[in-house]
Amino acid sequence: MAGAAPVKERGALTHPDLEGFDDVNRDILKVLSRPGKGWWALFALALAGLGLFFGSWSVQIVRGIGVSGLTSPVGWGTYITTFVFWVGIAHSGTLISAILFLFRAPWRQAVYRAAEAMTVFAVMTAGLFPLIHVGRVWYAYWLIPYPNSRFLWPNFRSPLVWDVFAVTTYFTVSAVFFYLGTIPDLAAARDGARGLRKKLYQVVAMGWRGTDRQWHHFGKAYIYLAALATPLVLSVHSVVSWDFAMGIVPGWHATIFAPYFVAGAIFSGVAMVITLTVPMRKLYGLEAYLTTKHYDALAKLCLLTSLIVLYAYLTEFFMAWYSGEAPERQMFWNRLFGSYWWATWIMLVCNGMVPITLWFKRVRQSIPALFVISIFINIGMWFERFVIIVTSLHHEYEPFAWGVYRPSIVEMGIVIGSFAWFGFWFLLFTRLLPPVAIAELKEVIPAPLRRRTTEENAHA
Amino acid sequence: MPEKRSLLASFEYLDSTVDAIRALRKAGLGEITAYMPYPEHHIEEALGWGQSPVRVWTLVGGLTGAATGFAFTIFTSMDWPLVTGGKPILSMPAYVVIAFEMTILFGALSTVIGLFINSRLPYVKPMVVYDPEFSSGRFGLHVSTSDERIAEARQILERSEPADIKEDPEEAARAS
């Protein structure tokens, strides 16, 4: 029982190697000093990828959406796939920062800052894809609900309009939540910095002094924000799933979609947290902060959500058979053995089979193994969205309207480049903001007590 | 009117800080500001913080958001009643989604505003009554009182063996 344990034993489990509060400031703020070669190499890679991203997008802007493979019958392809993928990635950040905060999970403190940054940058990446997908990006402001020239307002019955509200709210709230959480740590960075850096942190820390008044209201505001973010995160991916489930396309029109998408989102996001933090831990020497205990907990979360996702896959197949509907039945047969059989099997193997290894404690506690598994899951979850979107659209009701979609080079450039866009922001984050929550970590390491110190001296 | 004096003490240990706060409050020296590197509930409790008014901001913001969401969707549908997809002009279940998102958005933003107002952020005055150690590992106590009682306050603080005591930090900063 973490809650009932005496103060001095609170953090003994999660961070056995940390001695005191000063260690935390020293180790985490060290990360913000001069970047090493490894960081520059990754940053150069990200910049190259950014070139690919904006280069490909420019080609599409100049020559039109025709450079993509999108055409009848498949009007939604890799862009929407990647949109759903990145929104999904975002979800586990909020899960770790808000839901696990409300549940008082003692292992969240060390991972949550990185996970929350991942959320903000993933939503920033996802938000670009509707703009890319609609082609004429200079009309992107049409997404904002305002009356058109004939005074017609948008149709609020449309899930696509819900999606605009859900994703913009999600971005705003998660960015605010993220910034608010970093304020005490920015103050710590300010107190440890000199010169221009100090001035910069002075501005962004907004004069945080850690007084009882500030902490008191901060703590309460944080709880309420977490309580608001929790239903928000569940609603966002539900709304994304309704983009599909509200349509009568076979393979989309299912009531299971909302919980199925939310579980999938958390599954992919937790895997992405592992993918991002393993190199970060190595590069910045944060082994004492992100211990095998943390990875074990993340792996368990992956295992749980993978089981939910696998169950949802099987339910979909069962319901298609049980419904007796020819279009539904052919759709799911076509998924397994049709033109895109390979995508479906990648999805099933990566998301259903590979995570089975997480039942073994030895695998959960091996960081290299988890890193490899997490990459499998990332790939599998991208293909899950591809399977849902593309296989459903290319093989609808009318056989004469069937067709095969192939992503073009430009589309692939944009999709691959989006990872660089995300990586660019994440790399900047690890250099400019403390990547592990300094203040919150101190809640889980034992507080310095005079009584204990004198006792220890007496025993010695 | 007697002149205001103050002391800024920094402590290495949590329990000594809490003891000092209790002793000061017992002696009627209630003008205390505590500094801590992380939210320490023992200190907040010792200082007697109760409920935070931020929760009212959250509630009012959330309710405003819900009302705005419903008002917006209903008004725009009534503005030009056009039947689409054979659905009623006012399709409330669909509007719940919009109202829900607006509840969260307004609730969250108003919580942040409430936090800023209640915790006096941003704080733009020069940080004289402060020590960089307070964001690292030390706890701080700032006590202000009258000239007559300053010696008593100092005595109480010293009983808890602080690492350091500064006298009149505001005055010292002004002089330098």
The answer for residues whose C-beta is within 8 angstroms of residue B75's C-beta and 6 or more apart is none
Task: Check pLDDT > 80 for residue A312.
Answer: yes
Question: Are residues B35 and A217, on separate chains, in Cβ contact within 8 Å?
Answer: no
A-chain CB neighbours of B55 within 8 Å are 220, 224
Q: What is the mean pLDDT of chain A?
A: 89
Over residues A96-100, mean pLDDT:
86
Residue A455 lies in a domain: no
What are the chain B neighbours of A191 within 8 Å (beta carbons)? Answer: 132, 134-136
B122: preceding bond cis by omega (within 30 degrees):
yes
Closest residue in B to A216 (Cα) is B44
In the structure encoding, which two tokens stand for residue A31, read together? 């990360």
- The answer to whether the Cβ–Cβ distance between B35 and A232 falls below 8 Å is no
Q: Provide, rounded to the nearest whole percent, the portion of chain B with pLDDT above 90.
A: 30
CATH number 3.30.70.120 is the correct assignment for the domain at B4-51+127-175: yes
Residue range(s) defining the domain that contains residue A18: 7-146+153-447
Answer whether B132 touches A (CB < 8 Å).
Answer: yes
In this prediction, residues A345-359 reach a mean pLDDT of: 94
Distances (CA, A) of B152 to B26, B32, B148: 12, 14, 8
A-B contacts (CB, under 8 Å): 201
Q: pLDDT per residue over A151-170, tens digit each?
A: 888 888 889 999 999 999 99
Chain B residues lying within 8 Å of A15, measured CB to CB: none
The mean pLDDT of A340-358, rounded to a whole number, is 94
Q: Find out whether B107 and B62 touch, Cβ atoms under 8 Å.
A: yes
- Whether A12 has a pLDDT exceeding 60, the answer reads no
Q: What angle do CA A3, A4, A5 make, to 5 degrees?
A: 95
Q: What is the pLDDT of residue A315?
A: 93
Query: Buried (b) or exposed (e) across A246-262, using 16+ Cβ within 10 A?
Result: beebbbbebeebbebbb
Q: Which of A151, A206, A217 sits opposite B123 (nearest CB)?
A: A206
Among the residues of B47-159, which ranges form H helices? 54-79, 92-118, 150-159
> What pLDDT is recorded for position A457?
66
Q: Would residue A456 count as lying in a domain?
A: no
Residue with tokens 């792996």: A299
Q: d(Cα A202, Cα A343) in Å, to the nearest integer?
A: 50
Q: Which of A16-25, A132-141, B86-95, B145-154 has the lowest mean pLDDT?
A: A16-25
* Contacts A442 to B, Cβ<8 Å: 37-38
Q: How far is A304 from chain B (nearest CA, A)?
A: 28
pLDDT digits (tens, 9 = 90+) for A60-73: 999 999 999 898 89
CA–CA dist A142, A135 (Å, integer): 13
> Residue A4: its pLDDT value, please?
39
For the entire predicted model, the pTM comes to: 0.91
Q: Give the C-alpha distances (Å, rounded to integers) separating B105 from A106, A171, A172, B99, B133.
A: 28, 10, 8, 10, 36
**pLDDT beyond 70 at A456:** no
> A169–B80: do the CB atoms touch at under 8 Å?
no
Minimum-distance CB partner of A173 among B37, B108, B121: B108
Domain locations in chain B as residue ranges: 4-51+127-175, 54-118
* The most confident of A205-209, A286-290, B99-103, B138-142, by mean pLDDT: B99-103
> Looking at chain B, which residue has its C-alpha nearest residue A29?
B136
Residues of B (137-156) whose Cβ lies below 8 Å from A: 137
For residues A269 and A263, give the distance between their C-alpha atoms in angstroms, rounded to a whole number.
10
Q: Which residues pair with A211 in a beta bridge?
A: B35
* For A193, nearest residue in chain B (alpha carbons): B132
ipTM confidence score: 0.91
- Higher-pLDDT residue of A367, B26: A367
Is the Cβ of B80 closer than 8 Å to some Cβ of chain A? yes
> Chain B contacts of A439, Cβ < 8 Å?
37-39
Number of domains in chain A: 1
pLDDT grade for B167, boundaries at 50, 70 and 90: confident
Give A-chain residues touching B114 at CB under 8 angstroms: 217, 221
Q: B12 in contact with A at a CB cutoff of 8 Å? A: yes
Q: What mean pLDDT value characterizes chain B?
A: 87
Residue of A nearest to B85 (CA): A157
**pLDDT (average), residues B143-152:** 84
Average pLDDT over every residue of A423-436: 91
The CA distance from A213 to the nearest CA of chain B, in Å, is 6
Which of B14, B58, B79 is opposite residue A153, by nearest beta carbon? Answer: B79
Q: What is the pLDDT of residue A143?
A: 84
Closest partner residue to A209 (CB to CB) among B43, B102, B127 is: B127
Are residues A269 and A95 in contact, defined by beta-carbon separation less than 8 angstroms? yes
pLDDT interval class at B22 (50, 70, 90): confident
Question: Model confidence at A10, in pLDDT bands (50, 70, 90)?
Answer: very low
- Give the whole-number percent of chain A exceeding pLDDT 70: 94
Q: Which residue of A has its CA nearest to B77?
A: A153
| CATH code for position A322 | 1.20.1630.10
Is B30's pLDDT higher than 80? no
B111 interface with A at CB cutoff 8 Å:
yes
Q: Let me know if residue A1 belongs to a domain.
A: no
Distance CA A89, CA A272 (A): 7
- Do B39 and A219 lie within an 8 Å CB cutoff? yes
- Which of A153, A176, A220 has the CB atom closest to B55's CB atom? A220
Window from A254-263, A292-301, B87-96, B119-128 with minimum mean pLDDT: B119-128
CB pair distance less than 8 Å for A172 and B101: no
Evaluate if residue A11 carries a pLDDT over 50: no
CB atoms A162 and B85 under 8 Å: no
With a cut of 60, say whether residue B2 has pLDDT above it. no
Least confident of A24-33, A108-117, A284-293: A24-33
Any idea which residue has 């894809």 for tokens? Answer: A129
Residue A196 confidence (pLDDT) = 87
